[in-house]
Amino acid sequence: MASQGQVVLGVDSSTQSTKVLAVDADSGEVLARGQAPHTVTTGAGRESDPEEWWRALLDALGQLGGYAERAAAVSVGGQQHGLVVLDAAGRALRPALLWNDVRSAPQAAALVERYGADWWARRFGSVPGASFTVAKWQWLRAHDPRAAARAAGVRLPHDFLTERLSGAAVTDRGDASGTGWWSGRTGAYDEALLDEVGLDPELLPSVLGPGGQAGTVRERLPLRAGALVAAGTGDNAAAALGLGLTPGRAVLSLGTSGTVYAVSRQRPADPTGTVAGFAAADGGWLPLACTLNCTLAVDKVAALLGRGREEVEAGGSVAFLPFLDGERTPNLPYASGLLTGLRHETTAGQLLQGAYDGAVWALLRALDEVLAVDGEAGAGPDEPLLLIGGGARGTAWRETVRRLSGRPVVVPAAEELVALGAAVQAAALLTGEAPTAIARRWATAEGPRYDPLPRDEEALSRLAAALPLAGPAA
C-alpha cells in the first residue's frame, strides 16, 4: 500500500476542457486541481484541435503547484470515440472528429446495413452509431481522403495524451471497445473489418489489459520524469472506476451528453443498438446508453428564454424534446428540438421545465434499455440511482430525475468523477490494489440520499406521444 503523502494525478480530458486532480493515494483527499478550456467548432460538425488538448493539459498541470512534480503516477480519462489522425512525427494532421459529430451518421448506417445489426452486436458488443470511431474513419475517407491516406497513426483522445506523456502508443480495452473495430468477443482488433474499411492495424495503439502500465513520464514535462503512466481509459469507464461501481447499481451522468450505465460480469450484446456493450476498465463490462442532449441543450433553452437554469416552474401542458444536436438515444441523428402543447397560459419557467423533462425522459428510457439487456446489471426499483456529472449539483436536474423516475437518488459528494476515476487507476497501478478497494477507501460513492417522488405519469405520457414527431431515424 502507498505510504501517506504519495500523490497520484487523474486527468479528465472532456469535450469542453481538461481537468486534473492531484490526489493523496492513501486517503483520496483532493490536494489540488487545475482546469483549462478547449475550443469546439459549432455548426455541421464538432471538431477540436488535439494540440489544444495537450496545451490545456500542460496549463492544468501548471495550476497544481508542487503536486505535479511530486506525483508518483498519472492516468488520463478522455472523451470516447473521437478520431485523431497523426503524421509520422505524432502531430495531428487535422482537427479531431468528436463523439458528438453526427456527420458520420450515413457511414454508420451503411456499415450496419452491410453486415447487419446482429453481426455487430455479437462480434463487437455494440452496433455502431454516428459517434463510433469506425463511422468517423469512414467519413474521413469520404470527405478528407488526403488526411486518411497520410495517417501514420490513429488514436482516441485519451490515447493521444497518454502517448504525449509516455511516448507509448497504447490504449485500454474500455476505450477501445467504443471504436467499432475492437472485438469484445476476442479481446483484439478485428483485422478483417479493418481491411474492409481500409485501415492498417499497424496504425492503431496496442491494447493494454486491466491495470496495465503505458510507460513512464518523459523528461522535460511539468511532471516528475519516470513517474508511472497508467493505461488510461474512456470517460465513462473512468467514472465507473471512480465510484467503485459493482453490479446492482445504476448511474445517470448529467454532462454535455447524458449517459446511463451499470457494470456487469457478462458481455452484453444488444442488436437494437441502443445499448453499447462497452468493456469496463477493470476487466468486466459496462453496458451503456448515451443521449447527445443533456445539460448543454437545457442551458441553451434557458439562455433563449433569458432565465437562469434553476428558474423552472411546475405545471403546464408542454412536451419538449430538446434534441438540438440530433439524438443518439433514441437513434434520431437528423432530429431537431420539438415543442408541442404550447398554450397562451404557458410560462417561460414551464418551457424550461419542459426541456429538463425531455432530457431526463430520454435518459430514463435509455436506462430501461440498459437494465433490460443485462438483468445482472440491473438495479431494483428501490435501489438508489447514482446521479453524477455537472448537472447532478443542480436542484432542477435532481428533482426532475426523482419526479420522472419515481426512484430514490444519491448524489455522491465526490466531484470530477472522471478525473477521480483516473486517479483511482493511477493509484491501483502504484499500489497493486484493486480499483474497487481504493474507491471504497476513498468513499467516493457516498453522498446525500433523496427519497423518491411519485412518478409524473402525465408528463411521461405527453413526451411518449411527442416522440414519433421528432424526426426520421438513421
Give the Cα separation of 104 and 132 in Å (integer).
Answer: 9
Q: What is the DSSP string of 368-395?
A: HHHHHH-TTTPPPTTSPEEEESGGGG-H
SS3 407: coil
Task: Give 72's contacts (C-beta < 8 A, 6+ positions apart).
Answer: 2, 6, 7, 8, 25, 224, 227, 228, 430
User: What are the angstrom distances between the C-alpha of 106 and each of 77, 121, 138, 192, 326?
Assistant: 29, 19, 10, 21, 13
> What cell does 109 get?
448506417
Strand-pair partners of 339:
320
| End-to-end Cα, the chain, rounded Å | 50
Identify whether the C-beta of residue 12 lies closer than 8 Å to the C-beta of residue 238: yes
Q: What is the CA radius of gyration of the chain?
A: 21
Identify whether the C-beta of residue 72 lies closer than 8 Å to the C-beta of residue 8: yes
SS3 217: coil
What letter would DSSP give residue 327? B
The catalytic residue among 159, 235, 270, 282 is 235
SS3 403: helix
Give the Cα separation of 118 and 124 in Å (integer).
Answer: 10
Question: Residue 52: in which H helix or E strand, if any?
Answer: helix 50-62
Residue 253: what residue type?
A: S
Identify whether the C-beta of residue 449 lies closer than 8 Å to the C-beta of residue 398: no
Give the Cα separation of 19 and 376 in Å (integer).
Answer: 33
Phi, psi of 252 (to 5 degrees): -115, 120
> What cell does 228 get?
508511472
Closest C-alpha to 282, from 437, 67, 467, 82: 437
282 is catalytic: no
Residues classed as catalytic = 235
